A and B are shown apart, each in its own frame.
Chain A
């Protein structure tokens, strides 16, 4: 937001830009290398729009072979590579460097094979998250991780960030739903890891690659687990007159042995903005709102919802409303899933992604309120309550440099608070550039050295998305 420290660009690479672009053009079909200013502009930022940087060029290969040729060329010429899916990263994960190319995988968006018996789908990595579910929906199946950005974001980005979503409480995040992948290393080597079986032999390289933020290689294909959808699902709204009551209610539900498929939390400011946008019928006179969704047959849903209402009673919920129709359910979820967009219409915002132990919820929300008040900024809270993954949205005015600076400081303090209470800096959005300098609040140098050695093992010259995840000063020289 404020000026971003970055690596000194490689003057040799900048000087040879024309030659390099000519070289790249020989490797991929015509039109796949974008070098003109207007064309490159589309790749200068991701969903963390405060940071922008034009790359040398963008390359859009259509096959794994082409990716391999491009990476080999970049490896040999010392050109940095920023892999990109749809550019919806909220942590600057896809932000280019001046001396890098952007390698976009969006042309590789096909379903290769679906096997309902084995419950697997093999897809190209540039496919959007929703298109995987769409491809298997006619047979009643779905791909479980459902980031709110699922209409746009790609599986490639999800793999790089180990993305989650509202329904991960029951079904897990990306890493729990992937069985194999094809990755191209910086020397052009194509490696296949895992496959259709439920566990891969040897070390869990799959688990290491997922969540590595584009720093190990470029993923071009994956085999994901698809699941049979429940017979039905229904959300219920419950209002509370304090965040504490809502948080305690979540603990009580989970403690009782019921794991709803989703429990989402919104505070008052968020409720108002989302209701204005989605007309979902959220109650406006409450301090906190829970959206609780359960799955099963009609009778099972009834049974679970009444159990949950019974458990919630001591916390004095108000405005309890069980969705009565598919349309109503859709509206309830539209409000939640478009929350960031809705807030974006009224203000610029800075979206945090810290995670806390659920038991500290009310205390942490109060402290977040205090931190924001101290920086004279407003905050709206929307998050996955079941797993303690907070999304405080710090509202600010992007045209006001003083607000920008305060928002950034405020965000850092909020994340430090999350770490202090036993949580972490990011639950699903990733570290990117945004949180790299905060890594030492959560990790020791030794912790990070163990991680960075794996980066070096995949990419000895640190050419792949290099200025991300780790504090710049810690990079091996």
Chain B
């Protein structure tokens, strides 16, 4: 059992990191630990959690802004927002359940540290696009801030973006300020059953090219689709392609009809009403189709029009089940267990087609022996190492979690 540091104030956090920096003791940085099993395994004697660094510190609904200490549970923030009919529009995916944890454990700091974005990414942007300001402690043990609490800010370099998605390897965020948005009054989903991957992606790309503001587009292979919601339509066998529209009721009537018309070439879709739609998309958000298994899971990001090609190439060599999000640009691929979790094949195919892959679920031995985060081109890798060194010269924060030596 390793030592656990649980600062409840930024000052304590800074002191703990400063100590580790001077002693050159590596520390594992986490929020609630729900994503501990992602990344290359760490060998640290000390862990630090932001779990005691909690509380919403600012919420101005009419200014669309909320600040919270980094360890504040995401669930608490979403409840508070819901009271004002607002939400985090990027609907962060919850990696917990597919990693064998309960749903809803994550902290807000970790949402940004891992840059977790859900289906609405295609319409409203990623987590990183909603991060307005941070306070953080760098590996030097120094408190710094960037951005602020206003919607627009180009004062100085954009360290918010720099820290987002860095998986705790550059700095430990103590407080985050984010843009929040109104929730749509109502949701509707159009479902196509039985489309091949290629045709489904064509349909999704056509849909996003209409002016009707489709806010979520997934295509799931049959085994996955059946697990999403209990609905007659989804009990039919075969792959399912789902398109989400969100708006005021009258707009939804109009937009569903118009979208159906523009996609007539792909068949006549079924429609999920508001309640069933919400259920469906919250299951997508919890990646419920990946739950209940420990088979390796890859997350592959690519241009939508490459998606089907990429999966077809992989399926020739690798037994796998697939769900596409982001109009085909994000692929969740569950591979049958194997000595390298399919790493060699995935690496080869992704290099050929374009895009990149991350191994999200695999046991620690595997994560120690294959590239969890895809190797970067040499120029970018050199900058990556320098950035790490600039924030964390002693290499104490989550060392090696993303790349060896970073």
Contact = CB atoms under 8 A, between A and B. Distances in A.
Contacts of A426: 153-155
A164 B151 CA distance: 11
Interface string A381-408: 0001011110000000000000000000
B149 A429 contact: no
A388 B152 contact: yes
A456 B389 CA distance: 12
A414 interface: no
Contacts of A190: 379
A201 B60 contact: no
A447 interface: yes
B150 A356 contact: yes
A203 B113 CA distance: 11
B60 A359 contact: yes
Given A118-B205, A207-B158, A303-B250, A388 B151 contact: yes
Interface in A286-305: 296-297, 299-300, 303
Contact of B373 (A191, A202, A299, A469): A202
Contacts of B164: 204, 207
A428 B152 contact: yes
Nearest to A443: B156
B182 A204 contact: no
Contacts of B115: 199, 204
Given A389-B151, A444-B144, A208 B376 contact: no
Contacts, number: 257
Interface residues of B, number: 83
A387 B155 contact: no
A93 to B, nearest CB: 11
Contacts of A251: 62-63
A443 B149 CA distance: 14
Contact of B152 (A118, A208, A387): A387
B60 to A, nearest CB: 6
A454 to B, nearest CB: 6
Nearest to B64: A254
A443 B145 contact: yes
A176 interface: yes
A251 B64 CA distance: 10
A448 B383 CA distance: 20
Interface in B272-299: none
B380 interface: yes
Interface string B118-155: 00011001101100000000100011111011111111
A388 B157 CA distance: 20
A388 B376 CA distance: 39
A283 B390 CA distance: 54
A230 B381 CA distance: 40
A210 B155 contact: no
Contacts of A51: none
A73 interface: no
B62 A229 contact: no
B62 A205 contact: no
Interface stretch (A20-28, A99-107, A255-263, A327-335): A255-263
A79 interface: no
Contacts of B224: none
Contacts of B390: 450, 453-454, 456-457
B391 A198 contact: no
Given A176-B129, A426-B154, A457 B387 contact: yes
Contacts of B355: 195, 197
Interface stretch (B21-29, B48-56, B300-308): B300-308
A355 interface: yes
Given A300-B254, A303-B250, A447-B145, A422 B150 contact: yes
B162 interface: yes
Given A118-B205, A201-B373, A442 B154 contact: no
A95 interface: no
B61 A255 contact: yes
A227 B285 CA distance: 24
Contacts of B330: 198
Interface stretch (B208-216, B225-233, B313-321): B208-216
A230 B149 contact: no
Nearest to A297: B254
Interface string A347-367: 000000001111100000000
Contacts of B162: 203-204, 207-208, 454
Contact of B150 (A252, A427, A456): A427
Nearest to B156: A451
Contacts of A200: 356
B326 interface: yes
A258 B182 contact: yes
B377 interface: yes
B75 interface: no
Contacts of B128: 204, 207
Given A176-B125, A211-B157, A424 B303 contact: no
Residue among A192, A201, A205, A296 with the most chain B CB within 10 A? A201
A208 B153 contact: no
A223 to B, nearest CB: 10
A116 B155 CA distance: 34
Interface string B45-81: 0000000000000001111110000000000000000
A24 B348 CA distance: 42
A416 B383 CA distance: 35
Contacts of A453: 390-391
Nearest to B391: A450
A88 interface: no
Given A299-B254, A422-B149, A457-B387, A205 B156 contact: no
Contacts of A191: 377, 379-380, 383
Given A202-B402, A228-B211, A356-B150, A299 B158 contact: no
B153 A424 contact: yes
Interface string A90-133: 00000000000000000000000001111110000000000000
A153 interface: no
Contact of B356 (A201, A211, A255, A429): A201
A254 B151 contact: no
13 contacts: A172-B125, A175-B158, A197-B354, A198-B301, A202-B380, A257-B86, A258-B182, A299-B250, A355-B150, A387-B151, A446-B144, A450-B390, A455-B157
Given A303-B250, A389-B150, 14 more contacts: A172-B125, A195-B354, A199-B117, A204-B162, A206-B161, A303-B248, A358-B62, A388-B63, A431-B156, A442-B156, A446-B142, A448-B156, A457-B386, A469-B157
Interface of B: 60-65, 85-86, 115, 117, 121-122, 125-126, 128-129, 138, 142-146, 148-162, 164-166, 170, 181-183, 185, 202, 205, 208-211, 248, 250-251, 254, 301-305, 326, 329-330, 354-356, 358, 373-374, 376-377, 379-381, 383-384, 386-387, 389-391, 402-403
Interface of A: 115-120, 139-141, 161-162, 164, 168-169, 172-173, 175-176, 189-193, 195-208, 210-212, 228-231, 251-252, 254-259, 296-297, 299-300, 303, 355-359, 384, 386-389, 422-431, 435, 439, 442-444, 446-451, 453-458, 469
Instruction: State the 4 A-B residue pairs at the shortest beta-carbon distance, nearest first.
Output: A207-B161, A257-B182, A387-B151, A427-B152
